[in-house]
A = this chain, B = another copy of it.
Amino acid sequence: MTGSLVVVGTGPGRAELMTPAASAALAHATDLVGYGPYLDRIPVTRGDQCRHASDNRAELERARLALSLAAAGRQVVVVSGGDPGVFAMAAAVFEAVERGDPAWRALDIRVEPGVTAMLAAAAEVGAPLGGDFCAISLSDNLKSWHTIERRLRAAAEGDFVVALYNPASKARPHQLSKALGVLRAFRKAETPVLFIRSAGTSEAKVINSTLGRSTAARADMRTLVIVGASATRQVGRWVYTPRSEWSAS
């Protein structure tokens, strides 16, 4: 039997936010490859399915294992949280293809999209991503702070709404402070800043703050931070960005 590899996004957490296409790919797989806690979320639907759990940091190694299994004829699913194409496993798989066995380029590889964290986070608070926006990962084990700062400045100059992925971890407590500092130089103190923890799960929690008042201590690994653009505003308990710049009266 010819092997295949599907990179699947399981969404932000709640089972009801995983697409039927992702569920079908998982049910069809002979082998699941992924970060342990993501695999634990997947219900066991067949007894003969092998689960290859790995550590959070080992993305490329995990991608190589998945490609080797597919090359050996297995039906492999690489399990990613959120959407696999956004700061997740799909890019690692194609990087492993580029650097690996040339035969891997002929493999049947497919990506199943999912609901990425910023969409679930935005839905928890209203529609803060209603205008043009950008997504930046603050994790500096993948790029230099210089690059991150350059992107934050560009985002501010373009008046984009900014979604910050991986804002903080125990190993990196300072990036978010620095990032908010960069944006503060460009935007008003009243600009809405939302700290959305565990968006799209039953434990979702929102802190609705402003650029003037917010401190990085409000974020951890499970938080997504959204910083408003000039038009982003509060209405009742919601925050939204008007689609049209002419409605920003």
Contacts and interface: CB of A to CB of B under 8 A. Distances in A.
A35 interface: no
A158 B127 CA distance: 24
Number of copies: 2
Contacts of A105: 235-237
A16 interface: yes
User: Is the interface on chain A under 10, 10 to 19, 20 to 34, or 35 or more residues?
Assistant: 35 or more
B160 A94 contact: no
A142 interface: yes
A248 to B, nearest CB: 10
Interface stretch (A37-45, A46-54, A111-119, A214-222): A111-119
A238 B109 contact: yes
A209 interface: no
A132 to B, nearest CB: 5
A11 interface: yes
Interface string A148-165: 001101110111100000
Interface stretch (A26-34, A65-73, A84-92, A167-175): A84-92
Contact of A94 (B147, B159, B240): B240
A35 to B, nearest CB: 14
Given A94-B235, A113-B115, A235-B94, A16 B17 contact: no
Contact of A19 (B18, B84, B127): B18
Interface of A (DSSP majority class): mixed
A20 to B, nearest CB: 5
Interface string A231-247: 00101111011111111
A240 B95 contact: yes
B134 A111 contact: no
A93 to B, nearest CB: 7
A2 interface: no
A135 interface: yes
Given A123-B112, A126-B111, A133-B135, A142 B244 contact: yes
B130 A133 contact: no
Of all A-B residue pairs in the complex, the 6 with the closest CB atoms, nearest first, are: A154-B158, A91-B130, A134-B134, A90-B127, A94-B240, A105-B236
Given A85-B119, A111-B126, A132-B151, 5 more contacts: A85-B122, A86-B129, A94-B127, A143-B246, A154-B154
